[in-house]
A and B are shown apart, each in its own frame.
Chain A
Amino acid sequence: MIYDVAVIGAGVSGAMIASELSHYDMKVALVERCNDVAMGTSKANSAIVHAGFDAIPGTSKAKFNVEGTAMIAATCERLHVPFKPIGSLVIAFTQEEIDTLEELRARGVENGVPGLEILDQAKLRAAEPFINEQALAALYAPSAGIVCPYELTIAAAENAVINGTELLRNFCVDKIEFADGVFTVSAGAQSLQARYIVNAAGVFCDTVAEMIGDTSIPVTPRKGEYMLYDKTVGHLAKHVIFQCPNPMGKGVLVTPTVDGNLLVGPTATDLPHDEKTNVATTAPMLSKVISTAQKSVPCLTTREVITSFAGLRAHLECDDFIIGPSEKNAQFINVAGIESPGLSASPAIAVYVKDLLVEKLDKAKKAAFEPGRKAPVRFRHLSQEERRSLIAKDPAYGRIICRCETVTEGEIRDAILAPAGARDVDGVKRRTRAGMGRCQGGFCGSKVVELLSELCDKELNEITKFGEGSEILYERTK
């Protein structure tokens, strides 16, 4: 079989593109090097939908950001992913920084960002009671918001799979050959054939492009470290709070998450080209995260931190997205350099790439397709009455597995059995939040392992944290 399109990389870009393509009459493969979708940049970033005033007017970043942000609410609704349009603030501490706010506003207006407003100190304090008293003013952008990036990715992948896309996990592309208008994409002993390739390989997009001789997009993996706080301090920020941007990015932000936690970060450290899987956190950068965040919200401490993590973003020298056919092969579509605001831009990027491929392949929209997915059960959000009727229908929802986040066995079963479902403990965690609370899986970890073992028909010691090599248990004690 020859696929019409192989999308390489099941991050937010790849999954959203596959989802769009799956609504058309074509055969699509979504290949992913890891055991799950959303395993790279898409699982460890700021989870922000940016308003779009940062990017230089006329760039791809500016275009796709503003377009994508305008689409995000509808996309999230269709895919049953929570999105909260809480707005963002860029705060200024000096007159010079207030000047920067004016520049950002002008840029935003040029980019077409709606509703931008500069708040004076009094208004800022009214909007953010815990903000540093020395903050003088802020640029308010009402169209900004927060979304869970891996949930969006998972939902998009699920939609794609429901509509017939083949998700190939643990498919780490190492060779691409092109003959008679068809690519042969290999990953070790596995291979597939496709007429078109979408290179959405994140920090590996240069590696994949090099396989067809395209060396035009060398990536610098830029590491960002974050700290996630307990829900008890989620109220310390009402908006996405940025400081004034610097050449390495938008700086350390403080933001609530859609789940009610507080997220602070990222730092920005450029890594050597060969460290594309280095997502270790470092003590100096974690202390930098907290000290910088304290400049925005001084009452933050490390006491309520529940976990820290790092993610890599694919930075290109041109500081812009590169989206379109490779100069080496018109059937090879690069979706490269998707760093911030890539999450915000993803709905627009997906439609753009879909339009391009639909035109090239001349395919029609399917007569019938599923536009979204089944809304996942979120037991913790239900009323007692809803809980009663849910358990009456399926007793599996009557057993709590994760105490911190009130996640039921039923939800975990759903997450494992879903299209593009979880295959490992971290996958269950990202889909259900089991293990994401303040005990970080201390109690529920072993129960999740048991459920994975039952539903995937594997021994307990074959269950992994995030794919082969990350097994949790060794052999039986006796």
Chain B
Amino acid sequence: MLNYDIVVIGGGPAGMAAALKAKECGVDSILILERAESLGGILEQCIHTGFGLHYFGEELSGPEYADRFIKLVHEQKIEYKVDTMALEITDTNVVYAINKTDGLLEIQAKAVILAMGCRERPRGALNIAGTRASGVMSAGTAQKYVNIDGYMPGKKVVILGSGDIGLIMARRMTLEGAEVKIVCELMPYSSGLTRNIVQCLDDFGIPLRLSCTVIDIHGEGRVEGVTIADVDENRRPIPGTEQYIECDTLLLSVGLIPENELTRAVGIDLDPVTSGAIVDEYRETSHPGVFACGNVLHVHDLVDYVTLESQTAGEGAANYVLGKKAEAAYIATKGVNGVRYIVPQKVNLNNGNDVKLYFRVGQTYKNAAISVKYNGEEILRRKRPRLAPGEMENVILKKEMLEKFEADGLIEIGVEV
């Protein structure tokens, strides 16, 4: 049995930032477990630029953003194991993991930080009818083939879903010589960043069709085409709008799901909206000493926010290990009136810090306001010229404000138009 103060599961941007912060807070015994061949996580295949604008004030590519943290992990001499998969966390915080060189690892941790990231929703989850031909894959899988392996996964491409990965891959495939015929989006708005719609689609004349989906996949060996159709307000295909589009590849960019198999197996409470753990402001889950951060907690749109959140979790884990965790006096947070979820779901009043609440809305709004209420009474109001589901929002609860609250109170955040 190995012993570490903190075991971090996942060596992507979340895991590295959490580990570095915990080290900074005075914990020396830290081990990062990474399942891929190197640290960096999904950033390694995100070769486009646009990372780090908030955190570094620079426009970096994914590998460059990751590299800055990898360097720090080395400088700080934080231990890590790559090609290592965590299989199980017990309720006494023993982590079981395997790799080729160590075999089965049994690690007793004082605190565990979950930073496993997320995965893409597959075709099956959409229940698209049609054949099982080759050439249907998630946009992220295609990204790996093109950017890491250097192989083309398709020549004539239809993309379903206008999330950022879908948009980025539309441009990427076009740059490499593929013809991207159309990007279809089920919703009446794109969940991608406006900048990506302009620079990834408009620049290359790729049409974006909103309120539209793929209803059939054709071809026996390789995909030969797809049928698309417009959808009504209930997202049901409208008869008569079907259109056949010849293509050899269908890329899916239809949402991300936090990868919480380990979390679920320990019995940690999950939020049905985020599909991530329910946490307090230090990102501690319902299981004492287990923290979660990054896309395993809730799907972020910017890695910069993943870094910030993970630093918070790293600090929380360090406090836990060093016996500095405050006594619990929780208030709950709850999204209302168009706010789908809030992270953290609870705040410990005894921690005595400003608390940033992150949240997402369920539809687009113009010239709206964010209203924050404590036990039904408005305590904060912020104007927002624009709100969109694809862009994570936040408000800060000042510590002076928190001091006036009492345990078991309720914070509600809603949209007002």
Contacts and interface: CB of A to CB of B under 8 A. Distances in A.
Interface string B91-120: 000001011111110100000000000011
Contacts of A391: 98, 100, 103-104
B122 A438 contact: yes
B140 A442 contact: yes
Nearest to B215: A283
Interface stretch (B65-73, B145-153, B185-193, B282-290): B145-153
Interface stretch (A115-123, A360-368, A399-407): A399-407
A29 interface: no
A438 B35 CA distance: 18
Give the residue among A227, A446, A471 with the most B Cβ atoms within 10 A: A446
Given A440-B124, A446-B141, A446-B149, A384 B104 contact: yes
Interface string A424-464: 00000000000000111111011000000000000011001
B134 A279 contact: no
Nearest to A309: B132
B124 A398 contact: no
A308 B124 contact: yes
B133 interface: yes
A478 B123 CA distance: 29
Given A305-B124, A387-B98, A446-B144, A469 B35 contact: no
Interface stretch (B216-224, B307-315, B339-347, B389-397): B216-224
- Interface residue SS majority, chain B: mixed
Contacts of B144: 446
A381 interface: no
B119 A443 contact: yes
A476 B150 contact: yes
B155 interface: yes
A377 to B, nearest CB: 13
A471 B134 contact: yes
B152 A281 contact: no
A429 to B, nearest CB: 11
A411 to B, nearest CB: 13
A443 B137 CA distance: 10
Nearest to B176: A477
Contact of A400 (B85, B120, B125, B149): B85
Nearest to B98: A398
Contacts of B225: none
Given A307-B124, A403-B35, A445 B141 contact: yes
Contacts of B326: none
Given A398-B103, A399-B100, A442-B119, A475 B151 contact: yes
B87 interface: yes
A473 B99 CA distance: 29
A15 interface: no
Contacts of B133: 465, 470
A283 B214 CA distance: 11
B261 interface: yes
A374 interface: no
A392 B103 contact: yes
B127 interface: yes
A59 interface: no
A395 B101 contact: yes
Contact of A281 (B96, B129, B149): B129
B104 A388 contact: yes
Interface string B138-166: 10110011100111111100000000000
B216 A283 contact: yes
B362 interface: no
Contacts of B218: 280
A460 B150 CA distance: 10
A6 to B, nearest CB: 26
Given A306-B122, A470-B221, A473-B145, 10 more contacts: A277-B220, A305-B127, A384-B104, A400-B85, A441-B122, A446-B145, A468-B221, A469-B222, A472-B134, A478-B176
Interface of A: 227-228, 277, 279-283, 286, 302, 305-309, 384, 387-388, 391-392, 395-400, 403-404, 406, 438-443, 445-446, 460-461, 464-478
Interface of B: 35, 83, 85, 87-88, 96, 98-104, 106, 119-120, 122-125, 127, 129-135, 137-138, 140-141, 144-146, 149-155, 176, 215-218, 220-222, 237, 259, 261
17 contacts: A281-B130, A283-B215, A283-B237, A384-B104, A387-B104, A396-B100, A398-B103, A398-B104, A400-B35, A403-B261, A404-B261, A440-B124, A445-B137, A446-B149, A465-B133, A471-B222, A473-B152
